Homo-oligomer: A and B are copies of this chain.
């Protein structure tokens, strides 16, 4: 702890006084330091732009930093400021994004803020999430947790809550960033969730204990969520959602912005699709795809999604052509199969023997035909094979005379 008690006290006071509208204050603190700024404010000389001066003076007169510091101590928490070991230097990036770091952060929980957020991802989205959104938030959070990454989110119903619960479910760290005081459970229905996170991980806020979570605080809180993390994932967001403000903050900070797609028919995914289409967000489907974007280069190489491999995939091209040319039921001779496959007869014969050894075709009276196989349904049906691959010369020439139930689906 290298922070002077007077500075800590001044910074605690400043978190109480500052409002999103008092634009001049952070620059003033940067220039004159927190102690001098707070002393002048408390003495009634705010030295700010005229329009904010009156209000700031009034607020300063009501400010009781010692009470707040006592209060956070009674809660088992602490007030963390720049200079403390656990202060996340990453927050300084806010200066380059048209904003400013907090004067300090009110913190409850055993985790060390800088350590726990070093590898962290913000998971944000709508309060009125769909069941799909809640499911995805939980899945992504659990997936990140299993790979030793921390989740950071707000405390709202919907995506925020599902993200924290997904992390808790796998015993992984999660950080709740509240808009009001860390002892103000908003929404009330998440009181037990916050208590658990404060017990096991971290609940933090820029607002002093007891402060109510009013609207402007949600907006400045969103900048904190974006700034604390390596990237922001929007899971669900309506076209006009608070989560889009967090998304904009992440972009402003030049941190990766990611979004989860959903049904076009769901208004809750409209914001995500907007971000992907027009705001440069990367579409992500799982935790690995998130880490591919936010982790160090080369650290993660997620496998490309593939359908299940079929035995035919391993066949040489000629064998596949021959297999394709073999009729389903009525057998055909080697010459005909060779013609249809576009290979010569010796090659066709060799291929047929190899295919028979692999139980893909069989030799019967009159020539060769496919070996009947039973396969489980695959997610995607494929064109069923006609009795002969080239029906034009066969009487009767229909080529499509097979009702689907008569067709053997070889999975080709």
A contact set with B: CB distance below 8 Å: 16, 19, 21-22, 51-52, 54-56, 58-59, 62, 68, 126-128, 132, 135-136, 156-157, 179-181, 184-189, 208-216, 218, 238-242, 260-265, 267-270, 273-274, 276-278, 282-286, 289, 304-307, 317, 321, 324, 335, 338-339, 341-345, 379-386, 388-393, 397-400, 402-404, 412
Contacts of A386 in B (CB 8 A): 180, 186, 212-214
Contacts of A241 in B (CB 8 A): 307, 380
In the bound assembly, the distance between CA atoms of A56 and B213 in angstroms comes to 78
- With a CB–CB cut-off of 8 A, which chain B residues contact A343? 51, 54-55
Residues of B within 8 A of A16 (CB): 392
Asked if A338 and B55 make an inter-chain contact with CB atoms under 8 angstroms apart, the answer reads yes
A290 to chain B, nearest CB (A): 12
Once the chains are docked, how many angstroms separate the CA of A21 from the CA of B324?
A: 12
**CB of A312, distance to nearest CB on chain B (Å):** 10
- Shortest C-beta distance, A143 to chain B (Å), equals 12
Q: Are B344 and A55 in contact (CB under 8 A)?
A: yes
Cα-based distance from A216 to B318 in the complex (angstroms): 13
A209 CB contacts on chain B under 8 angstroms? 392
Q: How far is the CB of A108 from chain B (nearest CB, A)?
A: 15
From A218, which residue of chain B is reached at the shortest CB distance? Answer: B383
State whether B54 touches A344 (Cβ < 8 A): yes
Which residues on the B side are within 8 Å of A276 (C-beta)? 261, 276, 283
Interchain CA distance A384-B339 in the complex, whole Å: 75
A306 to B187, CA, bound (A): 26
Q: Which of A59, A186, A265 has the most CB of B within 10 A?
A: A186
For the complex of A and B, list the 7 residue pairs with the smallest distance between their C-beta atoms, beginning with the closest. Answer: A240-B307, A212-B399, A261-B261, A212-B391, A212-B386, A239-B305, A186-B400
Contacts of A62 in B (CB 8 A): 339, 393
A136-B264, A188-B402 provided; 13 other pairs, C-beta below 8 A?
A54-B344, A58-B339, A126-B380, A156-B383, A211-B399, A212-B386, A212-B399, A216-B321, A239-B304, A240-B380, A261-B263, A261-B273, A262-B264
Which B-chain residue is minimally distant from A61 (CB atoms)? Answer: B339
- Report whether A341 and B277 are in contact in the complex, using a CB–CB cutoff of 8 Å: no
User: A285: nearest residue on chain B (CB-CB)?
Assistant: B264
The docked-state distance in angstroms from the alpha carbon of A242 to that of B126 is 36
Q: List 7 A-B contacts (CB under 8 A).
A: A55-B344, A184-B398, A184-B400, A212-B399, A214-B390, A264-B286, A277-B282
Known A188-B403, A412-B215; contact A379-B238, beta-carbon cutoff 8 A: yes
Residue contact B184 to A19, C-beta cutoff 8 Å: no
Which residues of B sit under 8 angstroms from A286, Cβ to Cβ?
264
Q: Assuming the A-B contacts A188-B404, A270-B305, A283-B261, are A324 and B216 also in contact, with contact meaning beta carbons closer than 8 angstroms in the complex? A: yes
B residues in contact with A284, CB < 8 Å: 277
Bound complex: CA A209 to CA B187 (Å): 68
A189 CA to B286 CA, complexed, in Å: 38
Given A55-B342, A339-B58, check contact A180 B400 (CB 8 Å).
yes
- Closest Cβ of chain B to A198, distance in Å, is 15
Q: How many Å lie between the Cα of A381 and that of B187 in the bound state?
A: 12
**Bound CA–CA A317/B209 (angstroms):** 27
Contacts of A344 in B (CB 8 A): 51, 54-55
Q: How far is the CB of A248 from chain B (nearest CB, A)?
A: 14
Say whether A379 contacts B341, CB under 8 Å. no
Q: Does A341 lie within 8 Å of B283, measured CB to CB?
A: no
Count chain B CB atoms within 10 A of each CB in A156, A241, A382, A390 and give the residue with the most. Answer: A390
